[in-house]
């Protein structure tokens, strides 16, 4: 799938749409999900143009991949879920119901989350 530079997260990165920013560095941006599925729901995105986890994992540089993962404990600490725990979810592609075609990792916590999946 080709990268669509008008997707909502690309527009957030360009400053065209506001976001509730939690963390930013040279490679990543993290902000609160606009429709949270838990008391704490943060999205972590790379600044590079990657469609999905599949795309990011295959094509991103080692510096981008390291920065992305090193950001996670900084974010979890900042939003208060490092100790209590959280779930990280990355939807990738059609079967996953990925809606925004810019790679993002959901970080969900602040409450007991229950079982991993309910298929319907």
Annotated active-site positions, please? 104
Long-range (24+ apart) CB contacts under 8 A made by 23-26 are 23/71, 23/74, 23/75, 23/78, 25/67, 25/71, 26/67
Q: Please identify, among the stretches 22-30, 45-53, 92-100, 111-119, the one whose residues bind ligand AMP according to the rule CB under 6 A.
A: 92-100
Residue 95 in contact with ligand AMP, rule: CB under 6 A: no
The residue among 80, 89, 85 whose CA lies nearest residue 116 is 89
Residues 29-58 that bind ligand AMP (CB under 6 A): 33-35, 43
Partnered with residue 28 across adjacent β-strands are 46
Residue 91 in contact with ligand AMP, rule: CB under 6 A: yes
Q: Which of 2, 15, 97, 115 binds ligand AMP (CB under 6 A)?
A: 97
Task: Pick between residue 4 and residue 61 the one whose CB is nearest to ligand AMP.
Answer: 4
């Amino acid at each position: 799938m080709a990268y669509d530079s008008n997707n909502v997260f690309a527009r957030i990165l360009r400053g065209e749409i506001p976001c509730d920013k939690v963390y930013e560095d040279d490679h990543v941006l993290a902000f609160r999900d606009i429709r949270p599925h838990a008391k704490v729901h943060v999205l972590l995105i790379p600044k590079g143009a990657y469609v999905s986890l599949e795309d990011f994992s295959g094509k991103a540089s080692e510096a981008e991949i390291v920065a992305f993962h090193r950001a996670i404990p900084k974010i979890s600490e900042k939003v208060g879920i490092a100790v209590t725990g959280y779930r990280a979810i990355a939807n990738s592609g059609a079967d996953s119901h990925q809606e925004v075609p810019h790679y993002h990792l959901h970080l969900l916590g602040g409450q007991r989350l229950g079982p991993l999946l309910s298929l319907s």
